[in-house]
Amino acid sequence: MKTELDQAHFLIGAAMPGSGVNLEDELAKDTWMIRRSVEAVLNWYATTAPEPEVQTAAQLAEAILRRSLEERRTRRAQQQGTLFDGFDDDDDY
């Protein structure tokens, strides 16, 4: 999925009832390169889509995506914190 719209459409479809896709599991795979504006596209669908089902699915997809991105940021911050943990402040380098 190359474009923001492709990603947003997949996420909305996956968030539809009965889709058979577990969106949390898909996003947790870390194989996704989420484009920056996907969240904005989902928000746009959530507020402007004429079908209530699409609005609801877009809202759900946006919430799941936001949670997944925050979890990724937290994991990365924890991993980065361990890079220099073995160094002492008193060492002269």
> pLDDT at residue 76 above 80?
no
- Please indicate, yes or no, whether the overall pTM of this predicted structure exceeds 0.85: no
> pLDDT at residue 74 above 60?
yes
Look over the chain and give the mean of its residue pLDDT values, rounded to a whole number. 87
Q: Is residue 16 part of a domain?
A: yes
Residue 66 CB contacts under 8 Å (≥ 6 apart), including other chains: 39
Q: Is residue 10 part of a domain?
A: yes
67-72: long-range contacts, CB 8 A cutoff, minimum separation 24: 68/24, 68/27, 68/28, 69/34, 69/39, 71/28, 72/30
Give the model confidence (pLDDT) of 31-63 as tens digits: 888 888 999 999 999 999 999 999 999 999 999
User: What is d(CA 57, CA 65) in angstroms, rounded to the nearest whole number?
Assistant: 12
Write down the pLDDT at residue 62: 97
> What residues make up the domain containing 33?
4-79
> pLDDT at residue 89 above 60?
no
Q: Is residue 37 part of a domain?
A: yes
